[in-house]
Chain A
Amino acid sequence: MRSETSPLLKVEGLCRNFGGLMAVDTLDFDVHAGEIFGLIGPNGAGKSTTFNVISGFLPPSGGSVRFRGEVLPGGKAAAASRAGLVRTFQHGSYVRSMSVGDNIRLGTVSGTPRPERAGRVREVAALLGLSDKLGETAGTLPHGLQRLVSIAIAIAAQPKLLCLDEPLTGLNETEVGTVLKVLDGYRRAGDRAILLVEHNMKAVMTVCDRILVLHHGTFLATGTPTEIRGNDDVIHAYLGQAHAK
């Protein structure tokens, strides 16, 4: 079924080096509408760099990122976002001094017509269970809710591909459950997908449809969670360490 539709995101031969260090080396993968695609790997595997290049926060050293059939201009974050590829950041991507409502509204400023913004904010807040927190200042909320605000901002921008950078770090189990439910619901709309970088293996294995494993900036393995779990290379490079703990 997946091979019939053209992919939402197609990454081809992506490279990025910092001086002599090859952080990402000729990486290929694609993400299709309707799926949650996990990007995992041990620390320093090149996940963040890949993420930054795809979302336009870093220009690539080589290769291309094709989104909805169009090649994205490298290093133009705002352009990528307007095309429908919106990301969050690992360390809180919200504005501490603004209210939750204003924060979510930020997500609507470049894509939603002005009269619809307020409605959109309420909608997204409801989706993430933030409806009764709209007036509170984001910086004073508990950590878990702040994470939700970050995701809400990104969702408010109505992305076709939502890229989340470790959205579950520091959340308790209930909060993880909420987020996963939101992600699952988001994916179900059909024409959208999620690219997820996450350390919480249990969550990744539960929610992802397909997973790509990176190791030292290169492709290691790809497949369904079951396939990845059974992959010897992956167990050796990554899961082995986790299991050993």
Chain B
Amino acid sequence: MKIQLKSTAAIVALSSLVAPAAMAEETIKLGLSVPLSGAAAVWGKGAEFMCETAADEIREDGGISVGGETYNFACLPYDNKYNAAEGTKVAQALLNREGVRYIGGSLGTAPVKALQSLAERQGVLVFTVAWGASLKGTDHPMTFTQMNTPGEILPVLLRYVAERHPDAKSVAMLNPNDATGQETEALASKVWTKNNVDVLTSDFYERGTTEFQPIAARLASMNPAMIDLGATPPADAGAIFKELDVLGWDGVKIVEVGTGADGLKATGGAAADGVYMGAGVTFDGDTVTDHQKAVNTRAKERIGESLNAVQIGFYDSLYALKAAMEKADSIEPEAVADSLPRVTFRTFYGGEIGFYGTNIYGRDQQMRLPIIVTQVRDGQLEEVARLIP
């Protein structure tokens, strides 16, 4: 016990030493709570990259001017390992050790819940891409969502698909057995029914699964006109479509919250053709700006794949914060949170947007991002419809 005490004292002293030295006064630290290890590490790494990209751009543009002073952002990415316990550790480290007062972005429903409960007590402003509906609403006045969630995407996407394929009247659904999967499934089955499509089955599978043959066999045996893989990550979805292809199933393919074509093509090959996605971002075609292309090229070098909507959220949040801080002329989180719903800012997707969501969530906490319906055609992701809500 004596030893414990000594070590504790030593560690306590040590941890205060090793904490990065206080930065220059004009820096605003943005904490990021993202997975940097494990299966979702690539999302976290991309998020870190996008946060840094936006911070660099803002610095080069002359920073944020509040009260005559110029401030700049610095990104502090911490690994939340996609679970609540690590999320708590990250929250403690960011809020209580680093003294962070803004969360530039956070990923993963469970760790974000852990972060949110601590952040709200301390009046810290939180941006998140997490989809849990319970994270939003009037109970959480300091939380803002930096990405489209199923609530925004599904009604648009599914109506579009139903209209394009009027003969397809049945769907089989599959989702990963996690928070996003469960949220997506609950909403999607409602929306399909509303569009007069019959839901034949709605299954879940464990994340980390690598053998999709049995799953594909089950889906194909229902003989559905459409297969909706909901929140299934692109790589898993590709593998499933490939197995379905082998089994001879041919119908309308949807990955509702599919975020990118790279993973889909990597595992699905030609079987990925025709897949509709609701959160995909394309970097080919005429509408893509040079800026988008350049950032995406650098991202590919850094993280190995094309940017997706999750990661782009970590770019947009910085411009939103900049706008709100300048409008409020303050760097106090409460004041910034107050002015956020009333500002517009330049999004990575192009154009000036603001916040909305009072109808659904009771307050304007959702970025008014365009909902882009994309489809894989001849191995390329193409934008087939864009709707700005």
Direct A–B contact in complex, judged by CB atoms less than 8 Å apart: no
Task: List A residues at the B interface (Cβ < 8 Å).
Answer: none
Task: List B residues at the A interface (Cβ < 8 Å).
Answer: none
